Amino acid sequence: MADRAGYDENFLGVPVPLPRPSSPDVATVTLPYTHFTVVLRPDRRTAAATAVCIDGRQLLEHVPRENGWRFDPRVPEDRQMGDDIYAGNSLDKGHLVRRLDPVWGAAAEAGLANADTFHYTNAAPQADVFNQGKELWQGLENYLLGNAADFDRKLTVLTGPVLHDSDPPYRGVQVPLRFWKVAAFLQDGALAATAYVLDQSPDLSRDFERAMAGATPGAPPPLGAFRTFQVPVSDVVELTSLDLGPLPDADLMPVERAPRERWLRLASHDDIVLGRG
C-alpha cells in the first residue's frame, strides 16, 4: 500500500492540514489511502481522525460495494477493531470516511478508493438503528456539495469518533458514544467550515427500555437513537483535543449563540447554518 497518496491538504487551493492530537503524548499512526487518510489511535484501535478529499464533479456513484472488511497490513491486527468486536451482536461497522466520498476520478482509481474504505481502520462501532438523525448525518456531504456547486463542487471532510476515557468498555475496546465531522469548502472565494456531532448515547428519558435491555453481561453497551447537531468548530476542538488548524476561524456558525442554543439539533438539512452573522 506504499503507493497510496492519501489526503491532499491543498485540495481546496488553501491549506487544510490533517487533524492531529494537540498533545504530543497521544501516539498516532498516519495511514494514507486513496483520496483519504486515517490518523489511527493504536491504543483505542480506531481512528482519532480521518480526512477525505471529495471532488463532486468526478464522483462515480455506481461503483459496486465491497463485500468484506479487511485489516490494514501496515498496523498489527490487535491494534485494529476486527470482526471479533462486531460478531454476534447489534453493532454495525460504521464507516468514518463515507464509502462513496473518495470514489472519484478514473474508474481504476475510484475502485481502489472504494475498496480502501473497507479497512477496519476506517470503521467504528455504531448502533444498528437507522433513524432520521443517522440519515441526516450520512447525507451531509451531498447537501454541502450542492452548496459548493459554484466553487468547483469540492469539499474536504474531517471525521472521527469522540474518544473519551469514560467510553463504555466492550470486548477489550471502548465504544465511542459520539462522532464528529467538520466540512471545509470555499464560499465566496474564502475558506469556510461547518461542524457536526452525531450522538448515539442513550437518552434515558426516551430510550430507557432499550438501554436497560442492553445493560446485561456480555452485551454491547446500550446505545440510543442517533441525534445529529450542528456545533461550533471550536467545540469539536474542545471535545477531541485535536488541532483543526484554520477551521475554527472559518466557521459559518456564530459561536455567540446563547449556551443552550450553541448546539443546533438538526431536523433536516435545511436547518444547517451556512452564513456568518
CATH number assigned to the domain covering 20-271? 3.40.570.10
Q: What is the pLDDT of residue 211?
A: 41
Per-residue tens of pLDDT for the chain, all 277 residues: 889 999 999 999 999 999 999 999 999 999 999 999 999 999 999 999 999 999 988 888 788 887 789 999 999 999 999 999 988 887 888 899 998 899 999 999 999 999 999 999 999 988 776 556 667 777 888 787 776 555 678 999 999 999 999 898 888 999 999 999 999 998 888 999 999 998 887 643 344 344 434 445 555 555 456 788 899 999 999 999 999 999 999 999 876 665 557 888 888 888 888 876 5
Q: Where are the domains of the chain?
A: 20-271
Q: What is the pLDDT of residue 88?
A: 85
Assigned C-alpha cell, 158: 474531517
Query: If we measure between CA atoms, which residue out of 13, 5, 3 comes closest to residue 156?
Result: 13
Please indicate, yes or no, whether the overall pTM of this predicted structure exceeds 0.85: yes
Q: What is the pLDDT of residue 277?
A: 55
Q: What is the pLDDT of residue 260?
A: 59
